[in-house]
Amino acid sequence: MAIDTNNLSHVDLNLLVALDALLTERSVTRAAARIGLKQSAMSHNLARLRALFGDELLTRYANGMRLTPRALALIDPLRGALSQIEAIVAREDAFNPATSERVFRIGLPDSSEVLHGPALLAHLLQAAPHVRLRLFSIDSLEILDDLDADRLDLAIGVGGAFVGGQAHHKRRLLVKERYLCMFNAALVGVEPPISLDDYVRLPHVLTSLRKGERGVVDDALEALGRRRTVALTTSRFLAVPFLVQGAPVVTTMHSRLARFFAGALGLSLSLPPVELPEAPISLLWHASYDRDPAHVWLRGVIADLFAERGDRLLKD
């Protein structure tokens, strides 16, 4: 398709940067601050953009500003275009991990940080000594918005944490997790393998990133006409092994994490007495970075580390 250079020459491409900020922040004030402009200048840009596109783009609403259908349709193609322009004018034609000073922001649960963070950090210190990581706790209710607003580069989480993902949310399966039960045999008076009767009799510790006291175990038990008692629910995976070590409870968690802590704390493991589906652990990112050389490199590093760490734990 030929480029209409005559038409394009009349467009101030800086307006597209302003438009991206407006679509991301949905606020003239925040958009101005995002790219270092005064509010009056951003208001002027918005007026020019409305004239350019023949659309209001942002309209005032009771709780702020809302994007029009035309504005919503512009989000993905605009970010893709800006990403390609950025790649064209970048100083480096390709990403060089040995010299790059890139900062990557990753959202992930504390369990993944414990299992895979040390290996990732060690690899970066050797292969990319100037690259920096900023790790954030994952919030299943905000993770997609964080990626859309460019507050995160990547997210790692269980499939359920990414419910509602759209076409521009790119996903790569890292591993499929099975479940194991973990408990302090001396405190609960049960030796592996745990029976279904003991499983429902003992109080449970549930780890969940979502609100509520229900998980995959409850669905499986309900199908059998049984139910359990959840004594404690927490979003912090790392607290669970210590709760289990010190109280007569049982927990059901991802097998790799369970093996890691059982070995460290002397806890007992057992296959669940109910059939549970595998849990997919995935890597998620915005399509704007799909072909970014640095992102491609980091995604490959993370995928390799997950595979290596998983194989090692399964052999232990």
Task: Please give the average pLDDT of every successive group of 10 residues along the chain, which has 316 residues.
Answer: 54 86 91 91 93 92 87 88 71 77 91 91 96 87 85 85 76 93 97 97 88 84 96 90 97 93 96 94 91 92 85 46
Res 58: pLDDT? 92
CB 286 within 8 A of CB 79: yes
Give the global pTM.
0.68
Q: Which residues, including other chains, have CB under 8 Å from residue 33's CB and lie 6 or more apart?
A: none
Res 314: pLDDT? 43
Q: How far apart are CA 53 and CA 188, in angstroms?
A: 67
Structural domains in the chain, CATH included, are 5-89 (1.10.10.10), 103-177+280-315 (3.40.190.10), 179-277 (3.40.190.10)
Res 166: pLDDT? 81
Res 313: pLDDT? 44
Res 315: pLDDT? 46
Q: How far apart are CA 159 and CA 176, in angstroms?
A: 10
